Amino acid sequence: MNFVATADGWLDIDGRLARCALGPAGVVPAAAKREGDGASPAGVWPIREVWYRPDRGPPPATEIRVHAMAEDDGWCDDPADPAYNRHVKLPYPASAERLWREDGVYDIVVVLGHNDDPPVPGMGSAIFLHIARPGYPPTEGCVAVARPDLEDLLEKAQSGEAVEIRPDVRPEVR
């Protein structure tokens, strides 16, 4: 089963629609995705692994590989660095996003397989499925849903499954 997010802000979780947030620049073809453009990349992105904050709850129930996050975990977003679009430990000499955040959006982070095999510098990094902020404001290019929806998706997800990001809208919710 693939999970499908559409440009109009809906994520299909095994036939149930959940509200989601995407990048403020909308959904763009993966070949047009650029670092820092605020767009979510269209395509089918394998679910690689899950990171969670152990101080904010137990590990999510899932068959996907799960890692307990530490305060020094980060994700390199510097296209000039050899660790671009990879997990790093902070402080890191190049630009890197902190995973351990106070706002709660990364309490559970699902790493999606966008631009990772191998990473192409500048084609976008840190495309995650994570927890949405209240009111579902845009992400930096990720897909974000309510924590219960994320936990539901992870409970249903099997190894090898993916999240699809589509530029279209779902006819059922127009």
Averaged in consecutive runs of 10 residues, what is the pLDDT profile of the chain (174 residues)?
91 96 98 98 98 98 98 98 98 98 98 97 98 98 98 97 93 52
- The pLDDT score that the predictor gives to residue 100 is 98
Output the domain CATH number for residue 106.
Answer: 2.40.440
> What integer pLDDT is reported at residue 1 of this predicted model?
62
Return the pLDDT at 172. 57
> In terms of C-beta density within 10 A (0-12 exposed, 13-18 middle, 19 or more buried), how is residue 145 classed?
buried
14 half-sphere exposure, CB direction, 13 A CA radius: 11
Angle, CA 126 vertex, CA 121 and CA 131 arms, to 5°? 165
- How many domains does one find in the chain? 1
**pLDDT for residue 170:** 73
- Nearest Cα to 142, choosing from 16, 11, 28, 40? 40
Per-residue pLDDT at 174: 42
What domain range includes position 82?
A: 3-173
What does the alpha-carbon distance between residue 60 and residue 15 come to, in Å, rounded to a whole number?
Answer: 21
Asked if residue 148 has a cis previous peptide bond (ω within 30° of 0), the answer is no
